[in-house]
Chain A
Amino acid sequence: MTKRFALGIFEDEDVLLHAVENVREAGVKIYEVFTPFPIHGIDDALGIERSRLPIAAFFFGLTGLSFALWMQIYMLGFDWPMIIGGKPHIALPAFIPVTFELTVLFCCHGMVITFYAISKLYPRWKTPVLDVRSTDDKFVMAIEVNENTDMNKLTQILRENGASEVNQKEMSKF
């Protein structure tokens, strides 16, 4: 399916931030904004919900913690109990370091894998982008358009809000 986009190119992140607010106020739906670096405040301006990754990270950590405790208690406490250094079979203080490390291990890797999965980031042969300058020094606001869109009006809105260029681009599979 081919999609058509109007691209507002901005030179500065602060100009973009105001433009995002104004364009949305004018009733235009922004498809996506592409920037070379994270811009603080743009989530609110675009209405992006706060990520729930921290919650996921917490539960991954909790899984690691439970797994580590279960593993050590089962192995040294029940499966093959041994007295080591005169300690009880289940010597909890001695189990803490491994428990901590596995909590961190599960938390980090679980969260990072979730991040790549939900963001659909995986190695690809080629990556089509709307404007190659958006990973360099330009801030690109993409608005999905069709035959019925009033391009002149849209261009005017973008121009008024500080866009240095307004382009159109068609993309299949985007």
Chain B
Amino acid sequence: MQHVSPVREPLVTGGKTYHDVTQDVCRQVEAAPNIRWMAALSVALLLLGVFFYSVYRTLWYGIGEWGLNKTIGWAWDITNFVWWVGIGHAGTLISAVLLLFRQKWRTSINRAAEAMTIFAVICAAMFPVLHMGRPWLAYWVFPLQNTFGSLWVNFNSPLLWDVFAISTYFTVSLVFWYTGLVPDFATIRDRAKGPIAKVAYSMLSMGWKGSAKHWSRYETVSLILAGVSTPLVLSVHTIVSMDFATSVVPGWHTTIFPPYFVAGAIFSGFAMVLTLMLITRVVFKLEDYITIEHIALMNKIMMVTGSIVGVAYITEFFIAWYSQVEYESYAFINRATGPYWWAYAAMMTCNVITPQLVWFRKVRYSIPLTFVLSIIVNIGMWFERFVIIVTSLHRDYLPSSWAMFSPTIIDVGIYVGTIGLFFTLFLLFAKFFPVINMAEVKSVLKYTVDNGPTYTGRDPHHAPQPVTTHGVPASAPVNYDKHD
């Protein structure tokens, strides 16, 4: 039995019953695809075509198709890699960290956020693999002896740590997500009418029946997966940051990189979750599940992590001056006033100034403003990685090898193409999988029905919701005192 303060905001609005939750979430899985979904998928598939064309050019003609040169050996590819991995982090944060902190509001958004994690990591993995030049030899990154003798991989290299970190992160996120999906697949299976749907969802649901014993184990597994995913998600971006921090390039050789990167990852990830959720809730009519409160809470997390990132930018600058290292201070002066000043200005505006707007309640609770803000943050975070990577590399110790970077159409194509890949996967997920974790939402439903209507609104955003119960009320008359 839960004890919830009566002044708490309801987690799910609209006086939903258990059956309503099933209906609302299964509706778009069972209905024929609507025109808006088809239109969105067509655009995504078009971009996916751009991706395949760019990958074909890269593989057929080689890495020379990209804008890299001898000085700048890492540019858009690694920028995009870090950007996508960072976006993925919010999903794990919502599903694991918020589970450990018992934040019940995560139940309506964790499914889609975890899906986002998985698709973002798939997009991220494209870049290092393509950058290898010969992706068919990608298995060489694993500890296998080479073909000529018994030379092993270098376990001292952060790039190899990345291989282990990303592959562990991807597979663990995948099983975490799938295990959470199993009970919901069972719900769809038991409602399915068509023979194909029956077999498909029976296969996917692995024979789940919802017995008390299975639920007990399921909860144990979720808790432990959350427990180990929490340090895992922190380790992944820490290791990504070590790709830079363990080098001696001015602007990279910084000890604050791990926490700074992790905060940045969560910042950009929450921005992407907001972008996706604001669209999903409208397209699939899930406004009662992904409420304005959810949006405000995510905005707050974005504000906190955005502020951490802002402090990190300022700290870097301070240390560049305070350390009295000539190269370090030049790297930072060059960032702000050199040829890439515009990228730096974009990063500062998008990442330091915009999240501070969230302090205003009006902004936090405004859907159009939040949407615009989330897009701006994603652009800003892309520029952050570009600034860190390209401006540090383009002018290092030896002025004779200073150079500039400009992307080719193929660079742009691969980047835009991964956005297509991401949205293709996300749209397919949204159509065929339950976008909201029905079982978990049902388990927090009473949190609403019992406490929601008692709340007396203090402003128009919180006008008391009329209790409309369809069919049997979720909470039948029960003597609660007896059990408490």
- Assess the A105–B211 pair: CB atoms within 8 A: no
Residue A121 contacts which of B18, B172, B207 (CB distance < 8 angstroms)? B207
Q: How far is the CA of A83 from the CA of B424 in the complex (A)?
A: 46
Q: Which of B401-424 contact A (CB under 8 A)?
A: none
- Assess the A109–B476 pair: CB atoms within 8 A: no
- Assess the A32–B213 pair: CB atoms within 8 A: yes
B327 touches A (CB below 8 Å):
no
Query: Contacts A98-B160, A101-B165, A108-B172 known; A134 to B210 CB distance under 8 Å?
Result: yes
Q: How far is the CA of A43 from the CA of B21 in the complex (A)?
A: 25
Q: How far is the CA of A153 from the CA of B167 in the complex (A)?
A: 58
Smallest Cβ distance from A123 to chain B, in angstroms? 4
Residue B483 contacts which of A17, A43, A84, A108 (CB distance < 8 angstroms)? A17
Residue B161 contacts which of A11, A46, A101, A111 (CB distance < 8 angstroms)? A101
Chain B residue, CB-CB nearest to A95:
B155
Residue B207 contacts which of A57, A91, A109, A120 (CB distance < 8 angstroms)? A120
Chain A residue, CB-CB nearest to B228:
A104
Most chain A beta carbons < 10 A, residue from B17, B190, B212, B443: B212
- Assess the B156–A137 pair: CB atoms within 8 A: no
Q: How far is the CA of A108 from the CA of B420 in the complex (A)?
A: 31
- Residues on the B chain within 8 Å of A71, using CB: 143
A-B contact count (CB 8 A): 222
B285 touches A (CB below 8 Å):
no
Interface band, chain A: 35 or more
Smallest Cβ distance from B10 to chain A, in angstroms? 18
- Residues on the A chain within 8 Å of B205, using CB: 127
Chain A residue, CB-CB nearest to B198:
A126
Residue B187 contacts which of A36, A53, A108, A116 (CB distance < 8 angstroms)? A36
Most chain B beta carbons < 10 A, residue from A107, A123, A127: A127
B189 touches A (CB below 8 Å):
yes
**Contact pattern, B 471-484, Cβ under 8 Å of A = 1, otherwise 0:** 01011101010110
Q: How far is the CA of A40 from the CA of B217 in the complex (A)?
A: 12
- Assess the B221–A127 pair: CB atoms within 8 A: no
Residue B211 contacts which of A34, A75, A87 (CB distance < 8 angstroms)? A34
- Residues on the A chain within 8 Å of B443, using CB: 37-39
A166 touches B (CB below 8 Å):
no
Stretch among B29-37, B39-47, B178-186 lining the A interface? B178-186
Q: Which of A115-140 contact B (CB under 8 A)?
A: 115-116, 118-127, 129-130, 132-137
Smallest Cβ distance from A110 to chain B, in angstroms? 11
B439 touches A (CB below 8 Å):
yes
Q: How far is the CA of A94 from the CA of B217 in the complex (A)?
A: 36
- Assess the B175–A54 pair: CB atoms within 8 A: no
- Assess the B215–A109 pair: CB atoms within 8 A: no
A48 touches B (CB below 8 Å):
yes
Smallest Cβ distance from A151 to chain B, in angstroms? 23
Smallest Cβ distance from B82 to chain A, in angstroms? 17
Q: Which of B196-247 contact A (CB under 8 A)?
A: 198-199, 202-221, 224-225, 228-229, 231-232, 235, 239, 242
- Residues on the A chain within 8 Å of B198, using CB: 126
A27 touches B (CB below 8 Å):
no
- Residues on the B chain within 8 Å of A48, using CB: 212-213, 216
- Residues on the A chain within 8 Å of B431, using CB: none
Q: How far is the CA of A62 from the CA of B166 in the complex (A)?
A: 21
**Contact pattern, A 27-60, Cβ under 8 Å of B = 1, otherwise 0:** 0000011111111111100101001011001000
- Residues on the A chain within 8 Å of B208, using CB: 121, 127, 135
- Assess the B155–A76 pair: CB atoms within 8 A: yes
Query: Contacts A80-B150, A134-B209, A137-B18 known; A101 to B164 CB distance under 8 Å?
Result: yes
- Assess the A123–B203 pair: CB atoms within 8 A: yes
B57 touches A (CB below 8 Å):
no
Query: Contacts A100-B235, A136-B22 known; A35 to B17 CB distance under 8 Å?
Result: no
B294 touches A (CB below 8 Å):
no
- Assess the A11–B472 pair: CB atoms within 8 A: yes
- Residues on the B chain within 8 Å of A122, using CB: 206-207
A24 touches B (CB below 8 Å):
no
- Assess the A11–B164 pair: CB atoms within 8 A: no
B131 touches A (CB below 8 Å):
no
- Assess the A136–B168 pair: CB atoms within 8 A: no
- Assess the B190–A12 pair: CB atoms within 8 A: no
- Assess the A87–B156 pair: CB atoms within 8 A: yes
- Assess the A136–B216 pair: CB atoms within 8 A: no
Most chain B beta carbons < 10 A, residue from A91, A101, A107: A101
Smallest Cβ distance from A100 to chain B, in angstroms? 6
- Residues on the A chain within 8 Å of B56, using CB: none
- Assess the A36–B210 pair: CB atoms within 8 A: yes
- Assess the B209–A51 pair: CB atoms within 8 A: no
Q: How far is the CA of A115 from the CA of B222 in the complex (A)?
A: 11
- Residues on the B chain within 8 Å of A37, using CB: 183, 215, 438-440, 442-443
Q: How far is the CA of A91 from the CA of B209 in the complex (A)?
A: 50
Q: How far is the CA of A7 from the CA of B176 in the complex (A)?
A: 32
- Assess the B190–A132 pair: CB atoms within 8 A: yes
Seed contacts A76-B154, A102-B168; 8 additional CB < 8 Å A-B pairs = A48-B213, A53-B217, A54-B220, A98-B164, A115-B217, A124-B203, A127-B209, A129-B209
Top 6 nearest A-B pairs (CB, nearest first) are A137-B18, A97-B161, A38-B215, A132-B190, A121-B206, A101-B164
**22 CB < 8 A contacts A-B:** A12-B475, A14-B475, A14-B478, A17-B483, A36-B442, A72-B155, A79-B150, A80-B149, A84-B156, A98-B160, A101-B168, A105-B171, A105-B172, A115-B179, A122-B206, A123-B204, A124-B207, A126-B202, A127-B208, A135-B186, A135-B208, A137-B19
